[in-house]
Structure 1
């Protein structure tokens, strides 16, 4: 994957920089908050190289990338000309209104996303320390243990500070102000006063002291109040003193409010949430595990799992343990087992490496490749994996499997389920649930969830496969590119030049003069551009139609000698939704040089206010050492246009 190219195509696809309020990323997804959620074309975005799928959920437009998402995110920020700070808040421009639940999911994902990686790391370390104590490798009196435990426990102890910083950024306030409020909540004097039962008041008003170490909800509410007050104060404060005046007044007013009202009330809410979760769990751990684990991966598909994160973390910070994640953790392994079954069983040479890599990613705790690249396309495989998850989750609930830390899925998260007091039946049940999920996911998928394609495939599909077809990538503006997925023979000096003939009649101009950067920059590949004088495009060589877009404005072709060509008629013509276009070929058709591909109404396109300049791109540019286009001037359909070596 070319991360810069993928980022440029995604940026254009979501409506450009001006349509983005903010963008963050998680383990596998780019999560956009857009001004106009209708601007992107999801089906075309799915074709961009590196994109697994697209999900709209929680008020976010989520593009699933997989393990490469951090690199694509970095390239996206560079392309956008923004820093992470300027993309992480919603204060710049308000997008379309979102429902209460969508706003909740958006806030939770934005607040917790930046700390999830570290949160998982220290959770795993805590689990490993419990294991080392059980095995008598360490004792609690050893200095080594104390240092490692401090590393594992510090984030939880000072959680209000880190969450304050993250929440401050999310709400568009000064993150250092909200982090300072978090620090005040866990300040030693205040913590000692609570421990010793010391009475305190503020301006004569009694303060109900609470233990805010490891707390979650109070600082999130406090950060929202601080950000809101800070924005208002910034508008009226004199610019000459704003730098120190705004933080001073915000801290002096909001912090006491937190101690007097927000903290006690939100801490009480936290306690009730934890008690409520435990009450539901205790009604029937088996049924809870069966239902929750059975639907959990479907919840992830819609990105709604972030709504559960506060509950899981609140259980840990309030009770010191969390049984819900004990039931859900096995779901990663059922999908991993299903992916392995398909990797072993499939005869599809393209699917086998995808399923294999998805299996490896699943063992590491990343399930999106297994979901979108392997099991969902097979449909029954996803159902089989969900059945395996439900059965394994029911067992975990029955055995009382419990998490004592927070971590993403996968083998590295296993230690968080070890009871600090020593291994118990809950951990044994957890291990059994993971093994059953993996084995049952494998067996059910292998036997019932996947069938190899029938040898009597359609003739068109056979033609495309025999010609080593490519995947076509596109964006919401209708730009498309062809990205090779089959092995390409190395180019040698003995190989002859290959010629691509002009599909159009008109005026030839350099590709650099096309009025859109996606083409003029060469990001889509090298080639030429034609301002057509006749509204007909013909086949530029003998080959196969890899794809013709449903809007008929773009056609991907593969020549008999391996040259991949994209003919893209006009700029932004995807917006016409096929109007003014008539196609004469379908996907998989064999064409000869000069066969009519598509007709288009030049006057109709121009009247719609669109540019008819047509780009002819060598999509597999990287394969060749030299690509030369004919010099600008008039050109007739059938003339030599591009030579490749």
Structure 2
């Protein structure tokens, strides 16, 4: 309930209350006693929700739309308690009558279908799942499969699908190490080595987006190698008995009743890793994309002074509650507590990135400086509500052009922090930012970080 609410932008506390209703003792007893149950004359098919995940995901997804509708139409003075009340009295009955039975039944059917495929030809099933897994991850589609893992483990005590994803993880690690061994570009070798280590522990995004997909051939090598390893895992009938991203530290989650199946998984991921590394080395790749990126970073070493793109109180990034921004992992910058719902272009340049949710924008100045302006924290969940975008991708901009307008009060009323990070994403290492309440300067590293 909590993670679904975060994903869909719903109230987490109301989502937990809906989940609590599904597992309330008297509701469970109705299922246990096989009592005929109706709701205002509508028959209710009682299900057991104590070990399911799909029903609550469906419920919270629908609830997110109910909340957004009533937050827009209920008066500010009462919506903080009226909207949750309406959400509860509509979503709980709907879940028990509609979403719950659909979710439980569909989850069982999907799991049964996949198990039948695995039983029919586990080698082909394992190869297919492992081969397409990282492609699904790129598009975010894999999150639709994850609940099936969890549901199988919760209801059956094991899952056959999750082990087939492990070779895909190790194949990306192998491809990264293959790039490290072959590349003559010092920066690329360092990047590939570090992201390869990260991938070995289950986090493949840095390797995929920073190395393999970017260079194309290593990603293809990883997909082929993952399919080979997935076929091996499928052949041995490996299982997962607990959740966790596949990686070196989580290999014990694949120890089931059969040690032979576990050894088969180890063979599968090992083959995927080494085959991917060798194929990447043989197929080769072009170092130029990384060189061009380095050239772009060099261009961003020019001194410049700009106004804040958002009116308000300027604070250091450390004040931002999001650790990714606060740590400087995305780059140097500052944050603004807005007093006006408007983002203004601080430089002449071009729009390089726009988001469907309208909450953030990327621009590049004429001298190559790249700036990301991100309105609020987690406001992507609002899906564009309370935001208006006034420019298009690749549009030329001049200082003072309006980029985004947003409703500060409405965003805050929905429980979001409105603090706005402004990040310089491609500063060279010898540059530093000096900030006061009137202007922001980028220059040689010879001043305090915050003036």
Given that residues 174 and 273 in structure 2 are in contact (C-alpha distance below 8 angstroms), is that contact kept between their aligned partners in structure 1? yes
Tell me the distance in 1 between the aligned counterparts of 2:217 and 2:174.
14
Q: Show the 5 A alignment for 1:210-249.
A: 210-230=47-67, 243-249=80-86
Say whether residues 1:310 and 2:147 are aligned partners.
yes
Tell me the distance in 2 between the aligned counterparts of 1:352 and 1:336.
13
In the TM superposition, residue 185 of structure 1 has moved relative to its aligned partner by 0.7
Given that residues 274 and 311 in structure 1 are in contact (C-alpha distance below 8 angstroms), is that contact kept between their aligned partners in structure 2? yes
Given that residues 172 and 207 in structure 2 are in contact (C-alpha distance below 8 angstroms), is that contact kept between their aligned partners in structure 1? yes
Say whether residues 1:481 and 2:291 are aligned partners.
no
Relative to structure 1, the CA distance from residue 196 to residue 385 in structure 2 (aligned partners, 3 Å threshold; closer, same or farther) is: same
> For 1:506-536, what per-residue CA distance to the aligned partner results, in whole angstroms no more than 9, with x for missing partners?
xxxx935x6868xxx9x79xxxxxx9xxxxx
Aligned with residue 340 of structure 1, among 159, 164, 177: 177
1:355 corresponds in structure 2 to: 192
Given that residues 218 and 285 in structure 2 are in contact (C-alpha distance below 8 angstroms), is that contact kept between their aligned partners in structure 1? no
In the TM superposition, residue 363 of structure 1 has moved relative to its aligned partner by 1.2
Given that residues 270 and 318 in structure 1 are in contact (C-alpha distance below 8 angstroms), is that contact kept between their aligned partners in structure 2? no
Say whether residues 1:207 and 2:1 are aligned partners.
no
Relative to structure 1, the CA distance from residue 207 to residue 473 in structure 2 (aligned partners, 3 Å threshold; closer, same or farther) is: same
In the TM superposition, residue 395 of structure 1 has moved relative to its aligned partner by 0.6
In the TM superposition, residue 357 of structure 1 has moved relative to its aligned partner by 0.4
Aligned with residue 450 of structure 1, among 261, 278, 284: 284
Tell me the distance in 2 between the aligned counterparts of 1:239 and 1:377.
47
SS in 2 for 1:511: strand
Given that residues 122 and 234 in structure 2 are in contact (C-alpha distance below 8 angstroms), is that contact kept between their aligned partners in structure 1? yes
1:600 corresponds in structure 2 to: none
2:296 corresponds in structure 1 to: 472
Say whether residues 1:511 and 2:305 are aligned partners.
yes
Tell me the distance in 2 between the aligned counterparts of 1:623 and 1:241.
50
Tell me the distance in 1 between the aligned counterparts of 2:40 and 2:284.
70
Tell me the distance in 2 between the aligned counterparts of 1:178 and 1:625.
42
In the TM superposition, residue 250 of structure 1 has moved relative to its aligned partner by 3.9
Q: Show the 5 A alignment for 1:496-575.
A: 511=305, 554=366
In the TM superposition, residue 620 of structure 1 has moved relative to its aligned partner by 5.2
Relative to structure 1, the CA distance from residue 625 to residue 371 in structure 2 (aligned partners, 3 Å threshold; closer, same or farther) is: closer
Say whether residues 1:394 and 2:218 are aligned partners.
no
In the TM superposition, residue 242 of structure 1 has moved relative to its aligned partner by 5.2
Q: Show the 5 A alignment for 1:256-295.
A: 256-295=93-132
In the TM superposition, residue 396 of structure 1 has moved relative to its aligned partner by 0.6
Given that residues 430 and 444 in structure 2 are in contact (C-alpha distance below 8 angstroms), is that contact kept between their aligned partners in structure 1? no
SS in 2 for 1:406: coil
In the TM superposition, residue 329 of structure 1 has moved relative to its aligned partner by 0.9
Relative to structure 1, the CA distance from residue 623 to residue 179 in structure 2 (aligned partners, 3 Å threshold; closer, same or farther) is: closer
In the TM superposition, residue 356 of structure 1 has moved relative to its aligned partner by 1.3
Say whether residues 1:380 and 2:204 are aligned partners.
no
Tell me the distance in 2 between the aligned counterparts of 1:303 and 1:204.
41
Given that residues 301 and 431 in structure 2 are in contact (C-alpha distance below 8 angstroms), is that contact kept between their aligned partners in structure 1? no
Say whether residues 1:175 and 2:12 are aligned partners.
yes
Given that residues 470 and 482 in structure 1 are in contact (C-alpha distance below 8 angstroms), is that contact kept between their aligned partners in structure 2? no
Given that residues 52 and 151 in structure 2 are in contact (C-alpha distance below 8 angstroms), is that contact kept between their aligned partners in structure 1? yes
SS in 1 for 2:296: strand
> Normalising by structure 2, what TM-score?
0.63
SS in 1 for 2:18: helix
Given that residues 297 and 428 in structure 2 are in contact (C-alpha distance below 8 angstroms), is that contact kept between their aligned partners in structure 1? no
In the TM superposition, residue 182 of structure 1 has moved relative to its aligned partner by 0.6
SS in 1 for 2:145: helix
1:82 corresponds in structure 2 to: none
SS in 2 for 1:472: helix
Say whether residues 1:369 and 2:206 are aligned partners.
yes
Tell me the distance in 2 between the aligned counterparts of 1:333 and 1:349.
23
Tell me the distance in 1 between the aligned counterparts of 2:309 and 2:91.
49
Q: Show the 5 A alignment for 1:91-106.
A: none
Q: What are structure 1's unaligned runs of at least 5 residues?
A: 1-162, 475-479, 484-499, 501-509, 525-530, 532-551, 557-565, 567-571, 579-604, 611-618, 627-641
Tell me the distance in 2 between the aligned counterparts of 1:231 and 1:290.
42
Relative to structure 1, the CA distance from residue 180 to residue 388 in structure 2 (aligned partners, 3 Å threshold; closer, same or farther) is: same
Given that residues 300 and 367 in structure 2 are in contact (C-alpha distance below 8 angstroms), is that contact kept between their aligned partners in structure 1? no
In the TM superposition, residue 430 of structure 1 has moved relative to its aligned partner by 0.9
SS in 2 for 1:323: coil
> For 1:128-153, what per-residue CA distance to the aligned partner results, in whole angstroms no more than 9, with x for missing partners?
xxxxxxxxxxxxxxxxxxxxxxxxxx
In the TM superposition, residue 399 of structure 1 has moved relative to its aligned partner by 0.8
Relative to structure 1, the CA distance from residue 310 to residue 622 in structure 2 (aligned partners, 3 Å threshold; closer, same or farther) is: same
Say whether residues 1:414 and 2:251 are aligned partners.
yes
Relative to structure 1, the CA distance from residue 265 to residue 625 in structure 2 (aligned partners, 3 Å threshold; closer, same or farther) is: closer
Relative to structure 1, the CA distance from residue 553 to residue 434 in structure 2 (aligned partners, 3 Å threshold; closer, same or farther) is: closer
> For 1:435-458, what per-residue CA distance to the aligned partner results, in whole angstroms no more than 9, with x for missing partners?
111222223333x133797xxx9x
2:262 corresponds in structure 1 to: 427
In the TM superposition, residue 200 of structure 1 has moved relative to its aligned partner by 4.1
Q: What are structure 2's unaligned runs of at least 5 residues?
A: 315-331, 334-346, 348-363, 370-390, 403-426, 435-442, 447-451
2:386 corresponds in structure 1 to: none
Tell me the distance in 1 between the aligned counterparts of 2:17 and 2:117.
36
> Normalising by structure 1, what TM-score?
0.46
In the TM superposition, residue 398 of structure 1 has moved relative to its aligned partner by 0.9
> Which of the two has higher C-alpha Rg?
1
1:436 corresponds in structure 2 to: 271
Q: Show the 5 A alignment for 1:68-79.
A: none
> For 1:76-135, what per-residue CA distance to the aligned partner results, in whole angstroms no more than 9, with x for missing partners?
xxxxxxxxxxxxxxxxxxxxxxxxxxxxxxxxxxxxxxxxxxxxxxxxxxxxxxxxxxxx
Relative to structure 1, the CA distance from residue 276 to residue 168 in structure 2 (aligned partners, 3 Å threshold; closer, same or farther) is: same
In the TM superposition, residue 277 of structure 1 has moved relative to its aligned partner by 1.9
Tell me the distance in 2 between the aligned counterparts of 1:397 and 1:170.
32
Tell me the distance in 1 between the aligned counterparts of 2:213 and 2:128.
20
Say whether residues 1:251 and 2:108 are aligned partners.
no
Tell me the distance in 2 between the aligned counterparts of 1:624 and 1:257.
55
